[in-house]
Structure 1
């Protein structure tokens, strides 16, 4: 027996400290609800957990971003709804003015309302904002997919007797949308004549609605209608054998595509993912009167003060309505896509949160069992330490 070193007491003390330390860690986990409270608890698990937390926070913010983007789209689409209403009213006025029962005074009143409605379309385009960002003035048209659009000329014949084929050349040189009306006042003979018999504009009245194309630059020769913008000439072919008579008319709508936009900075970049580059570009076209083809290049509104101009204006307003419809449809598609994106982000965030929870969160039942075990072991070690401290006193029995 020795008395300088109480090895049994040292052993009991060491085990008691271990058990007390384990009980302390278990209590910390139970009180925080986390399995990892410091890097030492699980170094690898901590790194994985923090990476997942970054993804979860990014997904949640991306969902919020998508909701903000939907609000922006709804603001723009709501404004275009009113633009649609204005265009429908303008079309009604143009149809009204096309009727020759109206006097010049009547048409002047109609023109006055057309002018005001045109100004209101411009005001909506220039003042519609979301968080001070203008939406409909062309600042956000950004990258567009007009590169693959087909330029064309639509033609209608009043009595359905003549058909005009697509332009053979030159349409791409026209930068503005316009309507040209060709009215045949007389024909070569009473039986009717095709355009081959009309070698000039004699017997033909020609008018344009917006005036971007000069009437003097519209010619008829053989089976062709030649329209010039001063630099290039557009050739329209009339189907051979078709005939025209006095009172017949052809309305030609020149629809030129917009130049492709390649400036990606001029659009709304919606961050719809947790990582860099996970973006959605939202472009909103210019919805001003000039962009819709309702104004001349000098800013003058559609002219409906004559029957021919008013009739041609109907076509232009139809084109504008179609353009606004296309834009609203595009915005609706963006909104539907973003709604699906929000659902996907929510699912991803939920699943990542579940995975991160398995790494980071403590199993309360299991940890409570460990705490109880360590607490009992600590008490047992303390009791054994007391017994070990009593052991050297047995030496006194030998000293009697």
Structure 2
């Protein structure tokens, strides 16, 4: 073999192995001390890119969940305040219902009105002052907002809370005063009775304005209200009708003695009975109630200070025709059908020198929605529904909580409807807020799982597997020790030259 002293090939190659082993040992030591498998881009460039992207997405999930938490906090404040408004609207409704009872005297109604005013002021303050971090939530400015929940673009939840201040809560309404009229016979009431069906359009939908009773079609506020509630309820409409007839002071059916046939038409039900023209008021009330109950008519009779009171609880039109069995005279139809307060349009008076007389009273009609609506009512029909005290034949008028007035029976009835529509609106807003909160909470839970899985995926790529790394570290330590030992042996090989030089 050749023996040289200027270059020790074995020692040089062993030294190279020592450097590689030292580098591997140091890298393994850093992985164990830092917990990171990838210490720089050179270790795993593709893995580093993937891990960094996963880390970015995970941070996006984390920030998105923080956004969700702040959004839920704001919505919780809004929902709690809306709940307080709902409670106060309930109190307003109850007091309006109380005021609608005519047992209340003016003083009692004034006290109820003051209570309602206090509730309205409280609602206004809650709606105007509720905020989150300076952002008003219930005054109508918190609309078209977005909560960005996700790690990517356009991953948002839409938020919009309507104005629930007292000035904006209420109902878009139409209210008619009702109508009363008379003729020599029922078929002569051509302003209310027709031979064919009549229709009106409310909120873009066509409904019947008349109800069929025998061969007649009778204009009927109660039937209109019934159809509105059945056919337009899905678009937020609410309607009711009230029909109370209070006759003039009762003296008798007619000024002549004899028998009379009294025929009633109420809604789609007809009934009749015979009575003496001099029948007492109490006996007349008993006959009406007995015949109405037998026929299943929505009509009750009662007395008030010597006057006949006829009530249809559903607001159906009340029509009556009186026929004398013989002769003619003055028929006191005005004592059977009338409006003591004169709130309804039209008039009813006694009919003289006649053997027949008829009168009709169309009830008050209330139609309401939380949104503005249009109507299309023929002029003749509109006139026989009475005067439009709220709104017009063309559409609704908005009445907010400040317009509530329970100092009269009619005002209290209208106030109940205003409060009911306001309750519906606030409850709808609360439901929307609650649904959004549930949606956000579901997204939060889902993203928390996604965050955990994404961090796990990043960890698999980026972080150290200690079991594997310790095994490799032990291998590198043994290699280092063996390499150093062999380098020492390689460094002694040139000393063999001295044996040749002796």
Q: Confirm whether residue 339 of structure 1 aligns to residue 333 of structure 2.
A: no
Within the candidate set 82, 92, 95, 2:94 is matched to 92
Matches of 2:369 and 2:189 in 1, distance apart? 24
Q: Distance in 2 between matches of 1:366 and 1:195?
A: 102
Q: Which residue of 2 aligns with 1:79?
A: 81
8 Å contact kept, 2:51–2:458: yes
Aligned partners of 1:181 and 1:312 also within 8 Å: no
Match of 1:238 among 205, 209, 215: 209
Tell me, yes or no, if the aligned pair for 2:173 and 2:368 is still in contact at 8 Å: yes
More helix by share: 1
1:161-172 alignment runs, 5 A limit:
none
Is contact 1:118-1:294 (8 Å) kept?
no
Q: In structure 1, what is the equivalent of residue 424 of structure 2?
A: 322
SS in 2 for 1:40: coil
Residue 112 (structure 1) aligned with residue 114 (structure 2):
yes
Secondary structure class of the residue paired with 1:303 = coil
Runs of 4+ in structure 1 deviating by more than 3 angstroms, as ranges, are 189-196, 222-227, 234-237
Residues 93 and 110, structure 1, Cα contact 8 Å, conserved in 2: yes
Q: Distance in 2 between matches of 1:23 and 1:330?
A: 62
CA-to-aligned-CA distance 1:250-302 (integer Å, 9 cap, x gap)? 3222426269xxxxxxxxxxxxxxxxxxxxxxxxxxxxxxx99434xxxx431
Matched, 1:363 2:465: yes
Equivalent of residue 188 in structure 1, options 182, 186, 197:
182
Unpaired segments of 5 or more residues in structure 2? 146-157, 159-169, 212-216, 219-266, 268-316, 319-336, 340-361, 374-396
Cα gap change, 1:178/1:195 in structure 2, threshold over 3 Å: closer, same or farther? Answer: farther
- Taking the aligned partners of 2:486 and 2:413, their CA distance within structure 1 comes to 109
Query: Whole-Å Cα distance in 2 between the matches of residues 2 and 292 of structure 1?
Result: 112
Q: How much is the aligned-residue C-alpha RMSD, in angstroms?
A: 3.0
Q: TM-score, normalised by structure 2?
A: 0.56
Cα displacement string for residues 101-124 of structure 1 (whole angstroms, at most 9, x for unaligned residues): 111121111111111211111111
Gaps spanning 5+ residues in structure 1: where? 146-174, 200-221, 228-233, 260-290
Cα deviation, 1:165-209, whole Å, max 9, x if unaligned, reads xxxxxxxxxx9712414234x44259868984259xxxxxxxxxx
CA contact (8 A) 2:171 2:398 kept: no
> d(CA) in 2 for partners of 1:391 and 1:22?
28
The answer for the alignment partner of 1:399 in structure 2 is 501
Higher relative contact order (CA 8 A, sep 6+): 1
Map 1:232-311 to 2 at 5 A. Answer: 238-240=209-211, 241-242=217-218, 244-245=317-318, 246=337, 249-255=363-369, 257=371, 293-295=399-401, 300-311=402-413
Matched, 1:351 2:435: no
SS state at 1:188 partner: strand
Cα distance between partner residues in 2 of 1:252 and 1:371:
88
Does structure 1 conserve the Cα–Cα contact (< 8 Å) formed by 2:181 and 2:189? no
User: Larger Rg: 1 or 2?
Assistant: 2
Distance 1:314 1:353 in 2: 57
Distance 1:130 1:339, change over 3 A: same
CA contact (8 A) 2:172 2:372 kept: no
